[in-house]
Amino acid sequence: MSETAGTHLLVDCDTGIDDSLALLYAVASSECDLVAVTCTAGNVDARQVAENTRAVLELAGRPDVEVAIGRETPLARALVTTPETHGSRGIGYAELPPATKPLSPRYGPDLIVEEARRRPGELTLVTLGPLTNVALAVLREPELPRLLRGLVIMGGSYRSPGNTAPTTEWNVNVDPESAKIVFEAFGPRQVDSRASTAEPTDSTHPTRPTALGLDVTERARMLPEHLAALAARAGCAPDGTRPDGTVNPIVRYLADALRFYMEFHSRYDGFYGAFIHDPLALATALDPTLVRTEPLTVDVELGGRLTTGETVTDWRRVWGRPPNVDVAVEADSTRFMARFIERVGDLAARR
């Protein structure tokens, strides 16, 4: 399927640096109808996530987008955040004015359910953080997998090392119980053959989620030359300074946020640049041709001494269970990066 005009997105995130870039990409994409954003704890605490989310949307010129806070802790574990990766406030060295629009009165998981019910078959949910809000939403409304048009998940490590523990990815590691609930809920429904009336086939097999793990998201690397190209497209220097001495606020934000992120990756990953996991996932929700997927059965380890949070993937089909996830195995990172530079650069030029 190619890009779809008028794709209705609901984003659930834990707004750190790459989440904020994903939000900018959503606003910059003409085919994206950003319905609402729900916030969960992860990169930083949920209250800071909500502040960052609203501030970034206001920076992008979309203060009208509804932002709701959800659960502030994982389902069964203490919250762990990552200030070493995203900074104490989640946006690196960047400074943003305080958000002016109040939070939505709605609770994040309820918003997800209500919007899915309001427009059945139309809404694509994109998750960029731990799956806590989505797990609560599907527990409240078991039909959620059949009400959504699709679910795109940034999370997991399916055939690559982890980035939190040797085999685990951050979003799943923060709340593995929620990830397990979501992966199971979106799998094929078991129909009781003894029942007098069986449900239609299409209602028992929701669209499988598309999951982008580290296997593909670490191929999306923002390098200094990408930031320079984006700034040039916006008509300014890489630090956001325009020829007349004024400052482009979006480019300045990107420069300051990404400098922190690039320093982190220089220390831990051996290159001066940044993995921009979340923008690739959001871009895939708008254009699925950016990735190639394989239908697979995925479960989440909850009790391992060394492997809790691992997305255990049945590559050889030894379980004999039907696939429940379309796992991304390849990504066109070159096309994605060109599109990111073009769209966010043009957004910055307009702002």
Q: Which helix (H) or strand (E) holds 66?
A: strand 66-69
* 330 bridge partner residues: 292
Q: Which of 86, 226, 265, 277 is catalytic?
A: 277
What are the CA-CA distances from residue 186 to residues 36, 194, 329, 336 (Å)?
22, 23, 20, 27
Q: Do residues 199 and 205 make contact, with C-beta atoms less than 8 angstroms apart?
A: no
- Which three-class secondary structure string do you get for 177-191? HHHHHHHHHCCCCCC
Give Cα 177 to chain centroid, integer Å. 18
Angle (nearest 5°) at CA 103 between 37 and 60: 55
Q: 8 catalytic, yes or no?
A: no
Distance of CA 237 to the CA centre of its chain: 29
Which CA distances in Å does 181 have to 134, 139, 185, 298? 9, 8, 6, 12
Quote the CA–CA distance of 318 and 309 in Å, as a whole number. Answer: 21
Separation of alpha carbons 104 and 339, rounded Å: 31
Residues 171, 278: Cα–Cα separation, whole Å: 11
Q: Among all chains, which residue has been given the structure tokens 């606020």?
A: 249
Positions marked catalytic: 277
